[in-house]
């Protein structure tokens, strides 16, 4: 009977592992369906800081998107997600959440709503908390994965975690950047025929939000974003078609001089190589979002 024991229990444990997996992972592929947020299942390459944390953003027991998080600066480096076609209406009644995995091992791996009272003190060393933003007049909580790029209530709710937001100058957040998010929403709604993958991130220069005389949350210098959609409307107007299958954007997180500049992906990557802690192999999308060659007909039955 003892020889049969592994045959009985190993499959059971294998089935349970996805349920037990932590949201802070060694690799985005370690949690089933987490890599679905990434083009070709591949995260941006070239990020060299080993202290950064990979978060598979789980809500209601399902992975929703992924975030590369800096626990020292207490902001995301980037969030990567799939765009969902939506009317773009904004919802503001979702509770703000935090990531327990950054502070302790939690059983189910879901993000959780902030507790009341002083319980947040046990995890504020590893991430931003609501108090960090409460007395800051100049800045707002700016989503990297915005709720208006998601459609279902659960996908939208999952964007309301402080591990997905950065301090954005109010005039920038409600002005040029919101206008850009809406412009991209309309463009992808109308002309992307397949899945659109988006990566949005920030650069920093050392400026911090301080609380109780301590540096708490890094303030972004720049906000950048890029999308990848290899199945798009080839009959789109020329000024739209030249922005497919991929395009990038860059803007200053500032009160003035904060215009959003669209640019080819390679131009954005050249800027980021000089302004992020990355190596020269930086690549936001696998193979620069070049459409994979379709398999010959005689091979299609093999996949």
Residue 8 CB partners (closer than 8 Å, separation 6+): none
pLDDT at 234: 95
pLDDT at 27: 75
pLDDT at 21: 30
Instruction: Please name the helix (run of DSSP H) or strand (run of DSSP E) that holds residue 75, with its range, or none.
Output: strand 75-83
pLDDT at 293: 57
Region 250-279: mean pLDDT is 97
pLDDT in tens, 8-27: 333 333 332 233 233 677 77
Q: How confident is the model at residue 300 (pLDDT cuts 50, 70, 90)?
A: very low
Q: How confident is the model at residue 86 (pLDDT cuts 50, 70, 90)?
A: confident
pLDDT at 3: 44
pLDDT at 36: 94
Task: Indicate the CATH number of 24-289 among 3.90.180.10, 3.40.570.10, 2.60.120.590, 3.40.50.2300.
Answer: 3.40.570.10
Q: What are phi and psi of 98, to 5 degrees?
A: -130, 175
pLDDT in tens, 102-127: 776 555 577 877 766 655 566 787 88
pLDDT at 118: 54
pLDDT at 141: 94
pTM over 0.75: yes
Could you give the CA distance from residue 229 to residue 295 in angstroms, rounded to a whole number? 19
Could you give the CA distance from residue 37 to residue 35 in angstroms, rounded to a whole number? 5
Could you give the CA distance from residue 51 to residue 226 in angstroms, rounded to a whole number? 24
pLDDT in tens, 35-74: 999 999 999 999 999 999 999 999 998 999 999 999 999 9
Q: How confident is the model at residue 34 (pLDDT cuts 50, 70, 90)?
A: confident
Q: Show me where the domains of the chain are located.
A: 24-289
Has residue 195 got a pLDDT over 50? yes
């Amino acid at each position: 009977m003892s020889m049969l024991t592994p045959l009985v229990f190993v499959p059971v444990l294998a089935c349970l592992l996805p349920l037990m997996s932590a949201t802070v992972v060694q690799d985005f592929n370690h949690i089933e369906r987490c890599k679905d947020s990434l083009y070709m299942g591949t995260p941006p390459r070239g990020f060299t800081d080993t202290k950064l944390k990979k978060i598979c953003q789980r809500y209601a027991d399902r992975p929703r998107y992924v975030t590369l998080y800096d626990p020292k600066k207490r902001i995301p480096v980037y969030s990567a997600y799939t765009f969902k076609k939506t009317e773009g209406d904004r919802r503001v009644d979702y509770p703000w959440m935090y990531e327990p995995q950054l502070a302790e091992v939690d059983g189910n791996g879901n993000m959780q709503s902030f507790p009341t009272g002083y319980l947040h003190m046990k995890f504020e060393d590893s991430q931003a908390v609501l108090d960090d933003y409460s007395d800051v007049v100049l800045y707002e909580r700016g989503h990297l994965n915005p709720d208006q790029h998601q459609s279902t209530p659960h996908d939208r709710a999952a964007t309301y975690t402080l591990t997905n937001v950065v301090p954005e100058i109010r005039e920038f957040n409600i002005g040029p950047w919101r206008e850009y998010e809406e412009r991209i929403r309309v463009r992808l709604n109308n002309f992307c025929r397949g899945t659109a993958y988006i990566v949005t991130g920030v650069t920093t220069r050392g400026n911090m939000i301080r609380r109780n005389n301590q540096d708490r949350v890094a303030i972004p210098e720049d906000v950048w974003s890029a999308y990848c959609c290899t199945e798009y409307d080839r009959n789109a107007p020329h000024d739209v078609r030249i922005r497919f299958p991929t395009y990038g954007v860059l803007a200053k997180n500032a009160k003035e001089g904060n215009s959003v500049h669209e640019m080819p992906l390679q131009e954005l990557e050249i800027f980021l190589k000089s302004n992020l802690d990355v190596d020269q192999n930086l690549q936001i999308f696998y193979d620069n979002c070049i459409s994979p060659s379709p398999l010959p007909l005689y091979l299609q039955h093999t996949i």
